[in-house]
């Protein structure tokens, strides 16, 4: 009978670091505001994975509480930020992150 190996916290933290690095890379390299917005969300989810991993390893609920607050902030960011981005992209479909003058009334 073969025993299944358990996945340690190093694997979860490694996945979290890779996801965070992909988010940072996408944020620095891409110019489309919606793609940049998705990269920020990816970075938040990577931080959530690290919080949950540490909460499980330390047997503490503080990491899970932190994830709850991060999810609340991310939801508010989606509502406000995505609304602004969709309004800008409707007005100027070729807008990039450098076009901040669109936000001026």
The answer to whether residues 47 and 13 touch, using CB atoms and an 8 Å cutoff, is no
How much is the pLDDT for 101? Answer: 64
The answer to whether residues 34 and 85 touch, using CB atoms and an 8 Å cutoff, is yes
How much is the pLDDT for 47? Answer: 95
How much is the pLDDT for 98? Answer: 72
CA distance 27 to 30: 6
How far is it between the farthest Cα atoms of the chain? 70
pTM of the full structure: 0.80
How much is the pLDDT for 88? Answer: 79
φ and ψ of 31, to 5 deg: -110, -10
CA distance 37 to 33: 6
What is the mean pLDDT for each group of 10 consecutive residues in the chain (105 residues)? 71 96 95 86 94 92 92 89 82 74 61
Give CA 37 to chain center in angstroms: 8
């Amino acid at each position: 009978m073969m025993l299944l190996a358990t996945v340690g916290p190093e694997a979860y933290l490694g996945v979290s670091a890779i996801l965070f690095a992909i988010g940072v890379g996408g944020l620095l390299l891409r110019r489309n505001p919606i793609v940049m917005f998705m990269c920020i969300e990816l970075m938040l989810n990577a931080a959530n994975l690290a919080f949950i991993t540490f909460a499980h390893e330390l047997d503490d609920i503080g990491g899970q509480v932190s994830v709850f607050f991060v999810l609340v902030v991310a939801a508010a960011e989606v509502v406000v930020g995505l609304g602004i981005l969709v309004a800008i992209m409707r007005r100027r479909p070729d807008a990039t992150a450098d076009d901040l003058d669109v936000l001026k009334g």
